Chains A and B, each alone.
Chain A
Amino acid sequence: MKYSDISNRRVDQRLKRRQRAERRYRLYGQVAITLALLFLLMFFASIITRAVPAFYYHRVNLTLELSPKVFAGRQGEPLPRKITERQAKSLMEDAIALELGALAQRERLRRALIAPLAALELKQLLEKEAEVRHRLGDRLLLPFVLNSAGENCIRNACANSAEVDDFGLSEGQRQALSILHKRGLITRHFNLVFFTHSDSRSSESAGILGALLGSFWALLIAFLLAFPLGLFTAIHLQEFAPRNRLTYLIEVAIYNLAAVPSIVFGLLGLAIFLNWWHLPRSAPLVGGMVLALMTLPTIVVASRNALAAVAGGIRSAGLALGASRVQVVFHHVLPSAMPGILTGTIIGMAQALGETAPLLMIGMVAFIAQAPLSPLEPATALPVQIFIWADHPDPAFSSRSAAAILVMLVFLIVMNSLAVILRRSFERSG
C-alpha cells in the first residue's frame, strides 16, 4: 500500500476543486463582514456630516448707531430705560443701511437675514446697559444671529442662482449677505444654544436641554423602580424560590417580557397608567414606569447570572456560621455579585435611553419648549426629540436631529464603557 494507490489519486484530483470551494466559503464570510462594517462606516459618516452644521451658527456684526431720531431724543442724551421692540428693529435696519448704503428695502432685508429673536435680545441688552454708559448718538459694534434663511445662504456660500431660493431669499438679499460676508462682518460661533435651550419653533433657538432633562427624569424613575424590583426578583428566583409552578410562571413571564415588542409596553402604559390610573400624560414619570417594566428582564437576567456565578462555598460558610439565609444573601452573596448586577443594570439603562416607541404611546411626543423641572411636567425625551426633528422639513432641524443623535451616542458610549470597565475590574479582582 503505497501512496500512489487509486483512492489517493482520486482524492488529489478533487482537491483543487475543494480548495477553491473553501476559498469561496471564506470569501463569503469576508464579504459579509465587510458589508456590515461598511454600513457602520457609512452610518457614522452620514450622521456626523449631518450633525456638524448644527454645532455652529453665524452672526453678522453690525455697527449700531443709537440714533436720536429713533428714540425721539437729542444727541448725547442717555438712552431711555424702556425701549420698544419696534425701536430695536429700526436700529438694526439703520445699521444694515449704514453698512450697505441707503437701501429702500431695509426692513425686508432685516427680516430676511436676521433672526426674529435678535430684536428682543437687542432690546434687553440695551435696557440692561441703558444706565451704564450709552448715550444717544453712540456707535456700538454688536453681533446679530442670522435667521435660518441667511444661515442657509452663508453655508452654501450664497451660491444659489435661482430667482428666489428655497428659503425665500431674493437675488438682491443674497447679494447683500454676500457683501457682508466679504467684508468679514459675518463670523462663525459654537452653537451653545443647542445645549442650553429646549425645543423651539425656530431652528436657531432649538436645543436639547428639555429632551435631556426629560430623559434624565424618565431614566431616574426607571432605575428607581427597575433596579430594586429586578434585583429582588433575581434574588428570589436564584436563592429562595422553590421549584414549583409559580416559579416557572415567573420565569416564563420574564422570558416573555424580554421578547415583547416595545410598542406593546407603550400600549400597556397608555391603557393602564394613563387611562386607568389617570397619571399625567406626557410625563417622564409614566415614561420611566414603562421603561422600568421594559428593562426589568435585562436586570433580572444579569443579576441572576451574577448571583449564580458566586461560589457556593460562600453560602455554606455563612450558613455554617449560623447566619440565616437572608443574612447570607445580603451580607455575603450580594456584595460579590454586585459588579455583575450593576453592569447589567447599566446596560439595561442604556437600552432604555434609546427606547422611543413606548414613549410615543404615552404622549411624550409633543412640542414642549419648557425644560421639565420635575418628572410630572410634560416632557419629551432625547430619542423622541430626534424623531420629532427628523420629521421636520427644514434641514436645520434634521441637522439638529443628527446632532442630538451624536449626543445620545456619546451617552450610550459612556454608559457602555462604564459597564465594560466595571466588568473588567470585577474579573480582575475576582
Chain B
Amino acid sequence: MKTQQNKKEQIAPKVVARGVNVYYGEKQALFQVKLEVPHRRVTSLIGPSGCGKSTFLRCINRMNDVIAGCRVEGSITIDGLDVSSLDAVALRARIGMVFQKPNPFPKSIYENVAYGVRIHGLADTKDEMDAIVRRSLARAGLAREVSERLNDPAYSLSGGQQQRLCIARAIALQPELILMDEPCSSLDPIATARIENLIAELSRNYTILIVTHSMQQAARVSHRTVFFHLGRVIESGETTQVFTNPKRKQTERYITGRIG
C-alpha cells in the first residue's frame, strides 16, 4: 500500500513549482523555489518568519496578484496546468485557502458556507445548497455545534469554530487543493488540536499544503515537510526524515532551535 502511494506521488505530483522568484517591488522574497506537492497528502512548509512560506503559498492560487508591486517569475503547475495560464478566478475556485486569522464574512453561518457556491453557481436549488452547506459543515466537524443556529451571525462563534467555518467555506467548493496559512496561530491549544485532527481527516480526500511556524505541528500533521530559509527551499522530504535525519546543516540548526 505504502509503496503504491509513493509511486503515484512520484508519477504525478499535484503541484510542481520550478524556479519561482517573487519580488515585492525591488526586494526579492523568493529565490528559485523548486518543490513538489504530492496528491492527497499533507505537506507542511516550515521556517522562520519572513522566510517566504506564506508568499509561496499565495503564489499557488495567485493571491499575490492583488498586491501592488508584486512580481512572480517561474512556473507553478497544478496537474500539469500552469497557474499563470489559467484565469485567476477559475484557479481560485479550485483551490481552497484558510488564513492565519479566522476571517468569516459578516453574514450568517449558512451564508458564509454558501458564499463560494453561490458566486460560482454550483447549486441550482435551495435543497442542493442546503445539502452542500450541511455536508461541508459536517466535513469541517462543525455540523453538531451549529446545525441549530445556521442563521446566526458568524461572529457569534468562537475563534476555533470560526476557523473551522472558514475551512467549511473552502471545502464547500470541492477544491482539489487546500492552502492553509498558519491556520492555528491565533487559536488556543484545544481549538488547535481540533483543527489538527480535522486536517488529518481531510487529507484522505484533499491535498493540503500548510504553512506553520510550529515545528511540532508540522511533525504532527504532515506527511511531507519543506524547510524554507531566507526565501530559499533548503530541504524537503518525508516529515520523519526531515525531523529525525535532516540532510542539511541549516535544517538541523533550525529544528534544534538554533536559528529561529
User: Which residues of chain A have a CB within 8 Å of any CB of chain B?
Assistant: 1-3, 5, 7-8, 10-12, 14-15, 18-19
Contact = CB atoms under 8 A, between A and B. Distances in A.
A1 B177 CA distance: 10
Nearest to A13: B121
A15 B120 CA distance: 8
Interface of B: 78-79, 81, 87, 89-90, 93-94, 119-122, 173-174, 176
Nearest to A8: B94
Contacts of B94: 3, 8, 11
Contact of A15 (B81, B90, B173, B176): B90
Given A3-B81, A18-B89, 7 more contacts: A2-B79, A3-B78, A3-B176, A7-B122, A7-B174, A8-B93, A11-B122
A10 B120 contact: yes
B122 to A, nearest CB: 5
A14 B93 CA distance: 12
B66 to A, nearest CB: 14
A423 to B, nearest CB: 24
Contact of B121 (A5, A8, A10): A10
Contact of A11 (B78, B81, B90): B90
A5 B122 CA distance: 12
A1 B176 contact: yes
Contacts of A11: 90, 93-94, 120-122
B120 A14 contact: yes
A190 to B, nearest CB: 49
Contacts of B176: 1, 3
A7 B173 contact: yes
A3 B80 CA distance: 10
B86 to A, nearest CB: 9
24 contacts: A2-B79, A3-B78, A3-B94, A3-B176, A5-B174, A7-B173, A8-B90, A8-B93, A8-B94, A10-B121, A10-B122, A11-B90, A11-B94, A11-B120, A11-B122, A12-B90, A14-B120, A14-B121, A15-B87, A15-B90, A18-B89, A18-B119, A19-B87, A19-B89
A32 to B, nearest CB: 22
A15 B122 contact: no
A236 B249 CA distance: 61
Nearest to A4: B79
A317 to B, nearest CB: 33
A7 B120 CA distance: 9
Contacts of B120: 7, 10-11, 14
A7 B122 CA distance: 7
A8 B176 CA distance: 10
B45 to A, nearest CB: 22
A12 B90 CA distance: 7
A7 B119 CA distance: 12
Contacts of A7: 120, 122, 173-174
A186 to B, nearest CB: 60
A104 to B, nearest CB: 80
Tell me which of A1, A15, A18 has the highest count of chain B C-beta atoms within 10 A of its own C-beta.
Answer: A1
Contacts of A1: 176
A18 B87 CA distance: 12
Nearest to A1: B176
A375 B254 CA distance: 77
A20 B81 CA distance: 24
Contacts of A5: 174
Shortest 9 CB-CB contacts between residues of A and residues of B: A11-B93, A14-B121, A11-B120, A7-B174, A7-B122, A1-B176, A3-B79, A15-B90, A11-B90
Nearest to B81: A3
Contacts of A18: 89, 119
A12 B89 CA distance: 9
B28 to A, nearest CB: 28
Contacts of B173: 7
Nearest to B174: A7
A8 B86 CA distance: 12
A205 B131 CA distance: 84
A341 B176 CA distance: 57
A61 B104 CA distance: 82
Contacts of A2: 79
Contacts of A14: 120-121
A49 to B, nearest CB: 40
